[in-house]
């Protein structure tokens, strides 16, 4: 059995939900913690995971007006031999007026950069949108970001937390958002948990926000 929670992403100016991110909680006998400790499990089970993501995405679309579903993929899943055929399956199941955002996670380093870039370009050609997750920590690389030209960049929670606590970090946060928008990427500010962090995010003119202030992750069956 595979279970997911979902968390809504809002338009920062209106604070209305515009998308949901699927968050894996359990796959068969493996908890999310098990899989994060053994990342090869994401690759070994990629076909089953994509099948389940399609099923749950359709369930979400049936119960809410949000157009976009964000689906997480590790760099090494993206370079898996089955990836391109699985992208075809994802694209075939996107309903009219809806779209899938393929969110590249930052919890492991890509082993085959060139293949990852090529496969993501193919995914974009199939109509999927590309997001970079947790930018600002881990393996973040500005040159790779510009080359990939993602549709969306999600800022790591640490970025807004530092902006909330230090004025200098706040100014740096505004510059990061400005840079990302200059390369034609929309920005999701992750980790908005307080009124203060919400107002800082709004002043940055980032397009989207995500965090406990707006919506806590909940089981897909509970779409509130």
Q: Does residue 13 register a pLDDT over 80?
A: yes
Residue 224 within a domain: no
Tokens of 23: 């968050």
In a domain, 99, yes or no: yes
Distance of CA 16 to the CA centre of its chain: 18
Residue 215 lies in a domain: yes
Asked if the structure places residue 51 within a domain, the reply is: yes
CA pair distance 177, 202, nearest whole angstrom = 11
Segment 61-108, tens digit of pLDDT? 876 666 899 999 999 999 999 999 999 999 998 877 889 999 998 766
Residue 186 is assigned to a structural domain of this protein = yes
Instruction: Specify the DSSP class assigned to residue 127.
Output: T
pLDDT for 172: 93
Q: Into how many domains does the chain fold?
A: 1
Per-residue pLDDT tens over the stretch 176-202: 999 999 999 999 999 999 999 999 999
Residue 100 sits in a domain of what CATH number? 3.20.20.450
Domain for residue 204, yes or no? yes
Chain center to CA of 189: 11
- Contact between 208 and 186 under an 8 Å Cβ cutoff? The reply is yes
> pLDDT tens digit string along 117-175?
999 999 999 999 999 998 987 555 677 788 888 999 999 999 999 999 988 889 999 99
Least confident of 10-19, 22-31, 87-96: 87-96
| Domain containing residue 117 | 2-219
Measured between alpha carbons, how far is 199 from 220 in angstroms, rounded to an integer? 29
- Sign for the pseudo-dihedral over CA of 80, 84, 87, 88: negative
Compute CA distances 107 → 32, 74, 182, whole Å: 13, 7, 26
């Amino acid at each position: 059995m595979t279970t997911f929670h979902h968390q809504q992403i809002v338009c920062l100016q209106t604070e209305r939900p515009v998308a949901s991110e699927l968050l894996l909680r359990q796959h068969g006998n493996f908890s999310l913690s098990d899989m994060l400790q053994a990342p090869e499990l994401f690759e070994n089970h990629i076909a089953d995971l994509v099948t389940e993501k399609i099923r749950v995405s359709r369930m979400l679309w049936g119960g809410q007006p949000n157009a976009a579903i964000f689906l997480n993929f590790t760099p090494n899943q993206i370079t898996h031999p089955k990836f391109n055929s699985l992208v075809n399956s994802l694209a075939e199941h996107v309903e009219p007026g809806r779209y899938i955002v393929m969110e590249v996670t930052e919890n492991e380093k890509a082993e085959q950069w060139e293949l990852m870039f090529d496969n993501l370009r193919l995914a974009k050609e199939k109509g999927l949108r590309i997001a970079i997750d947790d930018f600002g920590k881990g393996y973040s690389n500005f040159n790779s970001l510009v080359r990939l030209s993602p549709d969306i960049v999600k800022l790591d929670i640490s970025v807004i937390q530092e902006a909330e606590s230090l004025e200098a970090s706040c100014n740096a946060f505004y510059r990061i958002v400005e840079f990302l928008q200059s390369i034609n990427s929309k920005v999701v500010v992750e980790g908005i948990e307080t009124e203060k962090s919400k107002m800082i995010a709004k002043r940055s003119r980032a397009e989207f926000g995500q965090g406990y202030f707006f919506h806590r992750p909940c089981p897909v069956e509970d779409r509130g």
